[in-house]
Amino acid sequence: MKVLVINGPNLNLLGTREPEIYGSSTLSDIQQNVEGLLSQAGFSCDFFQSNAEHEIVEKIQAAISNTAFIIINPAAFTHTSVAIRDALAAVAVPFIEIHLSNPHARESFRRHSYLSDIAEGVIAGFGENSYYLACEAVIKRLQHPKKC
């Protein structure tokens, strides 16, 4: 069973960009940790970053046949992409929306997400730990689907 982890625009800068807000780990540090957590629980992981909305849309479309869960940090696309919302709704793979920082503590336009209302759940504000908590959530959900 595969878990797809999607990272939106500018997350390739992680570790170099405002470390006091986002931490000093790079996206590839996080990838390693995520892959470790998931493989330990018996899941494979497809870890993906793109700055292009259409590449994310197409990655989600491709998930339709072989993906048990999606973890998505949509970054800026949280607030602007109906196309990603529509792709997630179309493939009907359950997904978790995550954020490094807490969007409610930032500019007011970050309070609206095009994904939250169709997400399984939302995890925000824990820095790189948001990824690891989402892994835990996915593992719990796939191992004990009845629990929540």
Q: Is 100 exposed, middle or buried (0-12, 13-18, 19+ CB in 10 A)?
A: buried
* 17 is a site residue for a second copy (CB under 8 A): yes
Query: Distance (Å, rounded) from C-alpha 94 to C-alpha 138?
Result: 10
Active site residue 99: yes
Q: Is 87 in the site for a second copy (CB under 8 A)?
A: yes
66 binds a second copy (CB under 8 A): no
Q: How many helices (H) and strands (E) does the chain have?
A: 5, 5
Which tokens go with 35? 């892959």
Least distance from C-beta 57 to a second copy, angstroms?
5
Our answer to whether residue 22 is catalytic in this structure is yes
CA dihedral 13, 15, 18, 19 (to 10 degrees): 170
Q: CB atoms < 10 A from the CB of 142, how many?
A: 16
Number of residues that bind a second copy (CB under 8 A): 64
In the complex, minimum distance from the CB of residue 2 to a second copy, in angstroms, rounded to a whole number? 19
Q: How far is CA 90 from the centre of its chain?
A: 17
For residues 56 and 8, the answer to whether their CB atoms sit within 8 Å is yes
> Which residue in 37, 53, 72, 73 binds a second copy (CB under 8 A)?
53
Between residue 99 and residue 138, which ones bind a second copy under the rule CB under 8 A? 102, 104-105, 109, 113-114, 116-130, 132-133, 136-137
Which residues ranging from 19 to 38 are in contact with a second copy (CB under 8 A)?
23, 25
- Are the beta carbons of 22 and 13 closer than 8 angstroms? no
The catalytic residues are 22, 99
Which residues of the chain form contacts with a second copy (CB under 8 A)?
8-10, 12-13, 16-18, 23, 25, 50-55, 57-58, 61, 64, 75-83, 85-87, 89-91, 102, 104-105, 109, 113-114, 116-130, 132-133, 136-137, 140-141, 147-148
